Amino acid sequence: MDRVSAGERANRSRRNPRRRNARVDGDKPRLRTVRETSAGGLVVDGLDGPPAMRCAALIGRTDRRGRLLWSLPKGHIEQGETAEQTAMREVAEETGIRGTVLASLGSIDYWFVTEGRRVHKTVHHYLLRFLGGELSDEDVEVTEVAWVPLSELPSRLAYADERKLAAIAGQLIEDMSEAGKNDGGTSESDPESPDGRE
């Protein structure tokens, strides 16, 4: 006969046989987790001019507390679209500005809860060169749009991750400018250069 000590019996009775995160009557139902992927970018005007003249198109959205929060334009990747195509489309839809992708700035991922779902969102961001268009806040999701000097992005952007991307963009722009000076004025950001991107 197997003998179990009183201490062992006490430990067994204290153990919770339920699995972690198991639902108990009265508990709220577990949220379904979904993954979403978006793309957007920092479209910059004045890349070929002096640094003090460079500006980026930002969008302002009003949050639940009534605050205007400035951020980079972004949106869902549509079926059949690349992340780069989405970035150009979303920048145009949310700001009225057309741009072309020059470089990747990196990705941000975050979690939020909405409509009974827990969302893990990944957003791919790109540096874009201004091609044309006029600022427009016709998108229903956007409260305001503005050209903001690159030097003001750290104080204007509401989210730390986007401020980091703006710093990366600033370094890329500086590197492209230096490369342009070193090769006689042709740089990767010049669409007429042999290895430039459109």
Walk along the chain (198 residues) in steps of 10 and give the mean pLDDT of each run. 59 53 63 95 96 97 95 97 98 97 97 92 98 93 96 97 97 90 55 37
Distance (Å, whole) CA 58 – CA 147: 6
In this predicted structure, what is the pLDDT of residue 147?
98
Task: Outline where DSSP puts E strands in the chain.
Answer: 32-45, 55-62, 68-71, 74-76, 97-114, 117-133, 144-149
In this predicted structure, what is the pLDDT of residue 15?
53
In this predicted structure, what is the pLDDT of residue 44?
98
In this predicted structure, what is the pLDDT of residue 146?
98
> Where on the phi/psi map is residue 124: left (φ > 0), alpha (ψ -120 to 50), or beta?
beta
Asked if 138 contacts 131 with a C-beta cutoff of 8 angstroms, the reply is no
In this predicted structure, what is the pLDDT of residue 192?
41
Distance (Å, whole) CA 94 – CA 97: 8
Beta strands 97-114; 117-133: pairing state? antiparallel
Residue found under tokens 């577990």:
30
Total length of the chain: 198
In this predicted structure, what is the pLDDT of residue 69?
98
38, 103, 189 from 121: Cα distances, Å = 7, 21, 30
Q: What's the token pair of residue 161?
A: 């991750």
